[in-house]
Structure 1
Amino acid sequence: MEELREAIINVLRKVRAHRDLYVRNEEAVKQHLIGEVFQALGWDWNNPEEVRPEARTEDGRADYALMLDGKVFAYVEAKNLGVNVLKRDDPLRQLARYCFNSGVRYGILTNGTAWIAVKAFEEGSGLRDRVLITVNIEEEPIERSVLRLSLLSKSRIRDVERLSSLLRALELSFEGLKGEGYPERVLIDYLTSGGSSTTVPVGKLRGDETPRAAYVYDNGWKLLPLPEKSIKGVLLAVLLYMEKTSSGRRREEIRKAYEHLRVVPLPPEKALEVLRKLGEEEGLRIAVEL
């Protein structure tokens, strides 16, 4: 995911610096923007076993064909940045014809920043009903773009229909619960919790508990090794985590605090007080498993 995130950031930088070029020049969009994203998605952009440019169809040439197991899995149609691929129907219909007349199930339409993936045919459904994912990296959070575009990765694209359905269900459920009055933060905490019914935040502890494990939230809950199974052990584990994620003088100060607290007697209630204060001052979300 990190490589894809970096690719999206690079695309945004290029567009902001050279927008006029990409509005006028479709070839620049292909070479500078689309290729970089597909590379980050795991496709070997210069390998004809995986990506074939100017793929012939009965209705014309698709800009690219994505190959899996020696067969075309999806066609890719590129437009310049001046074409709003998310709203205009004619480029999407053009792509759907390429797919339908060649028996290719999926199509991807992009202008470098906006992306749309579609299932080319299904009895009794309209074209817009068959849209699997849409992405607009200029207008939505990067993490959202990363997750949605990841469905087009070489390792996941075989399951794009199932994954897009799961993602849509997650989004609808999340918005539905927000509409019922549940705070967004509560829902995120629920989804990212460690999964153990005995995991509680430090703010809910009394001080007389015996922790089995400690966690800190850093783009997901991360397990911290416990020097000892006590509240003091949790405090020491958090300090070690802070040391690893710091540098320079701050890192030295954290190490000194760790070495001092490691050898001095510290009652559980006092250790819990220090732990809570540390979490508040540093903006850390800390939890323990009992």
Structure 2
Amino acid sequence: MEGLTKAVASVRRKIRSHRELYAKNEEAVKQHLIGEVFQALGWDWNNPEEVRPEERTEDGRADYALILDGEVFAYVEAKNLGVNIIKRDEPLRQLARYCFNSGVKYGILTNGAVWIAVKAFEEGSRLRDRVLVTVNIEEEPIEKAVLKLSILSKSRITEMERIASLLRALELSFLGLRGEGYSEEMLIEYLTSREGMNTVPVGELKGDETPRAAYVYDGGWKLLPLQERSIKGVLLSILLYLEKRAQGYEREEIRRAYEHIRRMSLSPETALEVLKKLEEEEKLRISVEI
């Protein structure tokens, strides 16, 4: 999702720098913000076989129609940034009318910053109850916004109702467990741990183990490419991880240390001692799969 992350970051910067423009100019929102996000979602924005602008419906013109297998899968309705599409019902109702009158099941409403995906019709339900996902690019953590937006990607949009339901269930379960006193860190570690994986914290290693993989805790257990299947290989992987986090002179120092250790003969016991010291000094949590 790297491309989508970059697009969301770009949209946030544009909104901060040109808020007054986007609050008044819907066309600027379409061209500068909405198009960039949809392209990052895998839609060929300039291909009429995938995206058709100003699509005629019985109730008016939808700003865009998203096409899959030659059929309209969803309508997209754009508003300028000055329209509060979360509080105002009419924009969402307008989109629902476009969808209902054309037999299109899904709609996407956005002002560039807020994105709302909705199931347009379902017997016995209210429109707001059929909102599948709401994303606020400006106010949500970028990782959360990117994950929720990803269900609108060309490769996932046919499953967006199911995935949106899973995300809601995950959020409710997470909040419920937090309310029961479980820490966020404990819950994330639980969710990201790998079933059947025999991992051992660095502090419990003896030095005679043959590592299969190395992990560092970074908001969740992150798998690091193993330089070689040895304790020295784990140390080298950790140094590369630290190098990516560092900047300037510190980064250069870590690179020099990496190159020095890579070339030298280092006993498993010595490599393990260095790993333990790094873990303590850098406030890391390192585990090794054996």
Structure-1-length-normalised TM-score: 0.90
Structure 1 alignment gaps of length 5 or more = none
Partner of 1:155: helix, strand, or coil? coil
> Structure 2 counterpart of 1:210, which letter?
E
> Structure 1 counterpart of 2:276, which letter?
R
Q: Which residue of 2 aligns with 1:221?
A: 222
Mapped contact 1:67–1:74 kept (Cα < 8 A): yes
Q: Which residue of 2 aligns with 1:34?
A: 34
- 2:47 is the alignment partner of 1:43: no
For residue 14 of structure 1, report the CA deviation from its aligned partner: 1.0
Structure 2 alignment gaps of length 5 or more = none
Deviates more, 1:241-250 or 1:62-71: 241-250
C-alpha distance 254-236 of structure 1, shift in aligned 2 (>3 A): closer
Mapped contact 1:108–1:116 kept (Cα < 8 A): yes
C-alpha distance 60-202 of structure 1, shift in aligned 2 (>3 A): same
Counting only pairs closer than 5 Å after superposition, residues 82-93 of structure 1 correspond to structure 2 as: 82-93=82-93
State how far apart, in whole Å, the 1-side matches of 2:10 and 2:276 are: 39
For residue 180 of structure 1, report the CA deviation from its aligned partner: 1.1
Task: Identify which of 249, 253, 256 aligns with 2:257.
Answer: 253
State how far apart, in whole Å, the 2-side matches of 1:225 and 1:237 are: 6
For residue 259 of structure 1, report the CA deviation from its aligned partner: 3.3
For residue 281 of structure 1, report the CA deviation from its aligned partner: 2.3
Mapped contact 2:224–2:237 kept (Cα < 8 A): no
Partner of 2:54: helix, strand, or coil? strand
Mapped contact 2:29–2:81 kept (Cα < 8 A): yes
Partner of 2:18: helix, strand, or coil? helix
For residue 199 of structure 1, report the CA deviation from its aligned partner: 1.4
**Identity, % of aligned positions:** 67
State how far apart, in whole Å, the 2-side matches of 1:22 and 1:117 are: 21
> Structure 2 counterpart of 1:155, which letter?
S
Q: Which residue of 1 aligns with 2:152?
A: 152
C-alpha distance 161-172 of structure 1, shift in aligned 2 (>3 A): same
Mapped contact 2:232–2:266 kept (Cα < 8 A): no
Mapped contact 1:224–1:241 kept (Cα < 8 A): no
State how far apart, in whole Å, the 1-side matches of 2:244 and 2:24 are: 48
State how far apart, in whole Å, the 2-side matches of 1:228 and 1:266 are: 11
Counting only pairs closer than 5 Å after superposition, residues 101-250 of structure 1 correspond to structure 2 as: 101-203=101-203, 205-207=204-206, 210-217=209-216, 221-225=222-226, 227-229=228-230, 231-239=231-239, 242=242, 248-250=252-254
> Structure 2 counterpart of 1:8, which letter?
V
State how far apart, in whole Å, the 1-side matches of 2:229 and 2:212 are: 10
> Structure 1 counterpart of 2:117, which letter?
A
For residue 92 of structure 1, report the CA deviation from its aligned partner: 0.3
State how far apart, in whole Å, the 2-side matches of 1:285 and 1:45 are: 44
Q: 1:114-172: CA deviations, max 9, x gaps? A: 01000001111111110000000111100001000000000100000011011111111
Partner of 1:151: helix, strand, or coil? helix
For residue 238 of structure 1, report the CA deviation from its aligned partner: 3.2
> Structure 2 counterpart of 1:222, which letter?
L
State how far apart, in whole Å, the 2-side matches of 1:172 and 1:4 are: 25
Mapped contact 2:81–2:113 kept (Cα < 8 A): yes
> Structure 2 counterpart of 1:215, which letter?
A
For residue 258 of structure 1, report the CA deviation from its aligned partner: 3.9
Mapped contact 1:216–1:284 kept (Cα < 8 A): no
For residue 9 of structure 1, report the CA deviation from its aligned partner: 1.0
Mapped contact 1:196–1:289 kept (Cα < 8 A): no
State how far apart, in whole Å, the 2-side matches of 1:53 and 1:226 are: 50
> Structure 2 counterpart of 1:194, which letter?
R
State how far apart, in whole Å, the 2-side matches of 1:252 and 1:271 are: 16
C-alpha distance 245-188 of structure 1, shift in aligned 2 (>3 A): same
State how far apart, in whole Å, the 2-side matches of 1:69 and 1:264 are: 59
State how far apart, in whole Å, the 1-side matches of 2:289 and 2:13 are: 43
Mapped contact 1:240–1:258 kept (Cα < 8 A): no
Aligned CA RMSD, in angstroms, stands at 2.2
Mapped contact 2:212–2:229 kept (Cα < 8 A): no
State how far apart, in whole Å, the 1-side matches of 2:128 and 2:95 are: 13
